[in-house]
Structure 1
């Protein structure tokens, strides 16, 4: 492999999401003449970020079980699909971005396909609304993680403790890999702010922002309740939502039911989130659980005040204008905290995030060195 580009297969949906954005940003900061990423996805469809990674020299591999009608069998079927993909394409190195220990079924498939080195990277800190089946499978498979994986990362200490067995934690075999971003790209920019606000017809508005997949974990239903209270207290407010997902239509219906549909913008996916953050005035994230949300880092990098749920690790609180509220608090309480940032002066937070280790180049250099060394040994 010494005379060839080292290729690392990454598991990441190529939709709009924090983990996907992070992996692509890392890839853009690699010396791609030496090392590059390919992507393994589990649904056979065109994704919003697909063309972008293909332009970076990536290959997209599909291991889909969508044709299996009986949902409980899909996980089993996918093991063989992953095995075939890895064997057919001679995959040697896998970087697996994991939600929970149930993902070990996919990792086993990769091992059966001949993968020799596996990094498991924890991005979650709880099960949230996951069913009993996922919880049971995770409990059974968690002890297998040290047997099948070679390297252990958590996006936060909380995420590491959630996924990895105690033996991994206590032996010090795992480490925190910060969810780095391009700090220069996300830095606060007043000119961009004016341009995007004019484009979205947000001039003179107090913009409450959120970016995240429309899934149970992100708790959009409660976010809409919060915004209804915000809008009742101050009608000159707008909720700006970025993301797609299975609950998007349900949330549009709820906005209509709450009578706030004219004040809620369902923007969908965007390839220019660094610019979109500039248009907001406050970022609100009432997630049921998170590892360490990349979107929270991006929002703070753009100088935004942030209101997080206390189910999210406090490690994401990097700047002075961040706070954590209980999900047990009523929407009116959240609304008061959201509105208190109306007169906050935005400023660059780049130096603070850089000192905290959230510069994407640092993250990219760490992974590049790891996999170049691994490839040499293989």
Structure 2
């Protein structure tokens, strides 16, 4: 091959999220002289990973479908893109919502390898619930290959059809416990004293921030110097800030936004908490364990995130007070902040290994189309 194989990834946006972290971890580890990633996004505004994508040699194709909801225009734009870029013989789609429309267009344009990827095991039950169910039914119909981040996510979306599990792998060299970094980051964030309860996730109904705030209030009642560290952004951020202020917790909650060096930020935490209503996997739980942070997740999070001895799982029905009790127990685990990389690699979540396997798969599938 004189030119690298180019894979077109279709994503909502390249924000600081789990799907995007997987893609960037793979992108950093592939041989980019043989394989390149390009991205079709659903927003026109700049996004979190844009600079790095362009530095690595990727192209970003922007549409406005999430801004104006003009699906016919999106389909025309995609059709024009695929006709002017015949090198896209592999299209890898990540959101089922736009995928229900993108995959039929790709099939009509003659794209021979069309991947539908499942990243969740449930759907928020709001006004969009029924239309989303319809899109889920259509999603895989025009795909040639089915991927999922976990067995639960694949079974939820693909309903009995065979699929491959692609683990949301992480860089085990970057995500590793380091005492000096822990001390430095806590000082940078003003978290020198007290237990730090941490969470990484978009401010979205799925992530269940209000339950986390309820839980933290019980922790604070027993540990008056405790702090809650909320990393992320999203549509519910203003509502969560109001809730924190209304409950008089502002002096104990830190919301510094998003970080490119998120592996450093985990180091500051004493316990990581993920009380999600649902998760396809819950990659952040694996990242936290890799850094040696005791991790507590809801029982709606996939069991495939259990990769180390510093992991615990609880039903949300147990209530915030019981969760607070478990958090305080975990904060005293003797194995906290020790090297967990052997557990991560043994569980198949090492980015370098996953990238090699995915690179071989993409190139083999591309060669089969010649």
Residues 119, 18 of structure 1: CA spacing in aligned structure 2 closer, same or farther, 3 A cutoff? same
Pick closer, same or farther for the CA change 1:67–1:351 going to 2, 3 Å.
closer
Contact 1:83–1:111 (Cα < 8 Å) also in 2: no
Contact 1:282 1:341 in 2 (8 A): yes
Q: Distance in 2 between matches of 1:358 and 1:139?
A: 27
Alignment match, 1:95? 92
Does structure 1 retain, via aligned residues, the 8 Å contact 2:294–2:331? Answer: no
Question: Is the CA contact (8 Å cut-off) linking 2:123 and 2:129 kept in structure 1?
Answer: no
Paired positions, count: 364
Match of 2:201 in 1: 212
**Partner residue of 2:77 out of 74, 81, 97:** 81
Q: Provide the secondary structure at the position in 1 that maps to 2:317.
A: coil
CA distance in 1, matches of 2:89, 2:200: 34
Structure-1 residue corresponding to 2:367: 376
> Which of the numbers 304, 307, 315 marks the counterpart of 1:318?
307
Equivalent position SS for 1:7: strand
Paired with 1:67 and 1:159, the residues of 2 have a C-alpha distance of: 27
The secondary structure found in structure 2 opposite 1:292 is coil
1:275 to 237, 256, 264: 264
DSSP 3-state at the match of 1:185: coil
- Extract unaligned runs of 5+ from structure 2: none
Confirm or deny that 1:10 pairs with 2:9. Answer: yes
Q: TM-score, normalised by structure 1?
A: 0.91
The two structures have a TM-score, normalised by structure 2, of 0.93
What CA RMSD, in Å, does the superposition of the two structures yield over aligned residues?
Answer: 1.8
Question: What CA deviation, in whole Å up to 9, does each residue of 1:191-218 have, x standing for no partner?
Answer: 1111111111111221111111111111
Q: Per-residue CA shift, 1:120-155, capped at 9, x if unaligned? A: 22111111335333344135425xx2x421222111
User: Are residue 342 (structure 1) and residue 331 (structure 2) matched?
Assistant: yes
Residue in structure 2 matched with residue 362 of structure 1 by the alignment: 353
Matched, 1:160 2:151: no
**1:52 paired to 2:61:** no
Tell me the distance in 2 between the aligned counterparts of 1:128 and 1:136: 11
Hey, what does 1:129 align to over in structure 2?
125
The aligned residue for residue 109 of structure 1 is 105
Displacement after TM superposition at 1:362 (Å): 1.4
**Partners in 1 of 2:130 and 2:98 — Cα distance?**
9
| Secondary structure of residue in 2 paired with 1:279 | coil
Most deviating of 110-119 and 179-188: 110-119
Q: Does the 8 A contact of 2:152 with 2:280 survive in 1?
A: yes
Q: Is the 8 A contact 1:101 1:163 kept in 2?
A: no
2:227 aligned with 1:238: yes
1:92 to 1:58, Cα distance in 2 relative to 1, 3 A: same
Q: Which structure 1 residue ranges, 5 or more long, are not aligned?
A: none
The Cα of 1:119 is off from its aligned counterpart by 1.8
| Residues 75 and 285 of structure 1, relative CA distance in 2, 3 Å threshold | farther
